[in-house]
Chain A
Amino acid sequence: MELFAIEPGLAIWTWLSFGLLFFILWKFLLPSLLKSIRDREKTIAGAVDNAREIQERLDEIKKEEAEILVKARTQADKVLSDTRKEAEVLKSRLLAKAEEEAEAIVSRAKIKAVEEREVLLQALQEELADFVCDASEKVTGVSFTSEKDRKMVKEMAQTL
């Protein structure tokens, strides 16, 4: 049958064609192509490794950044709370001092008021003594100008 006809020439032709193709590809065309593919793969692999390293470094930096941020926040909180405490202490100290000063001012004012009252009272008593002496002199016609009379009137006024 023609379908299964044996053609040795065609078989030899097949070997020759395939052999020639294999030889030319193997010796001349494939080495450079395979080398360029390998070189590119190496370059890509190198770039991928590089990118991975950069990514890892980036992750580390991000981790460090997060740690630093947490640390900074803790420190800031501590500083803030310390400052608050100090402020509280200072405030209470200042308040106490102000209260003390105010009390001192008030007591000083009180003493001064008492002293001024004393002075005023003394002046009033002298005025009253003078007035009583003058009035008695006009009524009785007797002069009460001596130091002794004045002292007596003054003592009387002090008993009031």
Chain B
Amino acid sequence: MKGLKRRASVIFSFLLFLGGTSLFAESSEVDISGTLFHHILNGRSLDLFPGVPAVKLPFGISVHQFMLVLSVLLILLLFLVAARNKTMKPKGVRSVAESLVLFVRDDIVYPVMGEKRGEKWLPFFISMFLFLLTVNLIGLIPAFKTATGNINVTTAMAVVVFVLTFAVGFKELGVAGFFKNMYPEGVAPPIGIFVVLLEFIGLFTKSIVLSLRLFANMFAGHLAILSFLVLIFVISPFFSLVSLPFAVFTYVLEVLVALLQAFVFTLLSCIFITMASTPEGE
């Protein structure tokens, strides 16, 4: 068993080396940063295998759009399969789906919103967490791209949270109540108005930061992995002995980051919406 594991890791490293070599075969002639960004940024075709011509996506959709649709389909498939298994003791796909749902419910929504209010918002945050998690993770499959490494996707998600923050705040507290909620009690008007202004700007910055955090983490992770692989061609093929383990380590770290960022985005969204719609002091 131990020997088998060692053999598998050697084969995996060799394949990774081969993949990396052919992936950047033209790197010595073209510019390194161009190649790097080509593998991260949005495009209209998928480079499935090194040496194989890129697959052009139908209907003129971009790779990131395709990844978003693929993620949605995967999530729906997971829940459709899970819906079939209705036993008292969940197993397999059902167990995975339930674990994810329970994680969002017990670690994100209920602690922040409480049970009664959280019940209503649960489907929204489950959808958000699963959507981000799947989009983050799908980009870790070789030849696929991370849509959350695109600022437009993360901003679109942050805009959803931003709009909901206002909408829910206005609905729960009223327009006047929403702004009054920002005014700290027992503070002189000049300072109070200044605080309201800051809070109002804060609503925007929170959403911007929400968007940037997810984008930067996902983008930087992929850039780090590819940078380690590019070093082989920049320095020497023998440098693969050093950069390959680092690339594998960063890849494993990226799995963790993908999960963590989906969690952070969902948790912060939940907190922002709750804060905007809860009267001061409650």
Q: Are A7 and B150 in contact (CB under 8 A)?
A: yes
Given contacts A10-B150, A29-B76, A29-B79, contact A18 B157 (CB under 8 A): yes
Q: Which of B120-128, B200-208, B236-244, B258-266 contacts A (4 or more CB under 8 A)?
A: B120-128
Residues from 151 to 176 in B contacting A, C-beta threshold 8 Å: 151-153, 155-157, 159-160
User: How distant is the Cα of A111 from the Cα of B123 in the complex, in angstroms?
Assistant: 119
A10 & B153 in contact (Cβ 8 Å cutoff): yes
A13 near B65 with CB under 8 A, answer yes
Is A131 close to B, CB under 8 A?
no
- Beyond A2-B41, A30-B79, A32-B86, 5 additional contacts (C-beta under 8 Å) are A12-B156, A13-B65, A14-B156, A17-B131, A24-B76
Q: Are B152 and A7 in contact (CB under 8 A)?
A: yes
A-B contact pairs, 13 of them (CB 8 A): A4-B151, A7-B62, A7-B152, A14-B153, A18-B160, A21-B131, A22-B123, A26-B123, A29-B76, A30-B101, A32-B86, A37-B102, A43-B88
How many angstroms between the C-alpha atoms of A22 and B37 in the bound complex? 32
Q: B127 and A10: CB pair below 8 A?
A: no
Q: How far is the CA of A10 from the CA of B65 in the complex (A)?
A: 6
Contact of B131 with A33 in the complex, beta carbons under 8 Å: no
A36 on the interface (CB 8 Å rule)? yes
In this complex, what residue of B is CB-closest to A18?
Answer: B131
From A2, A4, A21, A32, B72 is in contact (CB under 8 Å) with A21
Size class of the contact patch on chain B: 35 or more
Closest 10 CB pairs of A and B: A14-B156, A26-B123, A11-B156, A22-B127, A29-B79, A17-B68, A10-B152, A7-B152, A21-B72, A13-B65
* Contact among B41, B71, B83, B102 for A3, CB-based, below 8 A: B41
Indicate if the CB atoms of B42 and A33 lie closer than 8 Å. no
**Residue A160 lies at the interface, judged by CB distance under 8 Å to chain B:** no
List the A side residues contacting B123 at CB < 8 Å: 22, 25-26, 30
User: How far, in whole Å, are A17 and B156 apart by their CA atoms in the complex?
Assistant: 11
Judged by DSSP, the binding face of B is helix
Bound-complex Cα distance A29 to B100 (A): 14
Q: Which residues of B contact A7 (CB under 8 A)?
A: 42, 62, 150, 152
For residue B98, CB closer than 8 A to chain A, the reply is yes
- In chain B, positions 34-92 with a C-beta closer than 8 Å to chain A are 37, 41-42, 61-62, 64-65, 68-69, 71-72, 75-76, 79-80, 82-83, 86, 88
User: Complex: how many Å from CA A73 to CA B36?
Assistant: 88
A40's nearest neighbour on chain B, judged by CB, is B88
Q: Does B247 contact A (CB under 8 A)?
A: no
Asked if B229 is an interface residue, CB under 8 A from chain A, the answer is no
**Are the C-beta atoms of A10 and B62 separated by less than 8 Å?**
yes
> What 0/1 readout, one digit per residue, does chain A (109-127) give for beta carbons within 8 Å of chain B?
0000000000000000000
In the complex, A40 Cα to B82 Cα: how many Å?
Answer: 15
Q: Given the complex of chains A and B, what is the CA–CA distance between A17 and B75 in angstroms?
A: 11
A11–B83 CB distance below 8 A: no
The chain B residue sitting closest to A14, CB to CB, is B156
| CB atoms of A21 and B102 under 8 A apart | no
Q: How far is the CA of A6 from the CA of B159 in the complex (A)?
A: 14
A29 to B157: give the CA distance in the assembly, Å.
22
Which residues of chain B in 185-221 are interfacial with respect to chain A, using CB atoms and an 8 Å cutoff? 219
Contacts A33-B82, A34-B101; is A11 near B155 (CB within 8 Å)? yes
Expressed in whole angstroms, the minimum distance between the Cβ of A18 and any Cβ of chain B is: 5
Smallest Cβ-Cβ distance to A23: which chain B residue: B127
Among A8, A14, A15, A33, contact of B83 (Cβ-Cβ < 8 Å): A33
What is the CA–CA distance of A17 and B134 in the complex, to the nearest angstrom?
A: 12
Is A20 part of the binding interface, using a Cβ–Cβ cutoff of 8 Å? yes
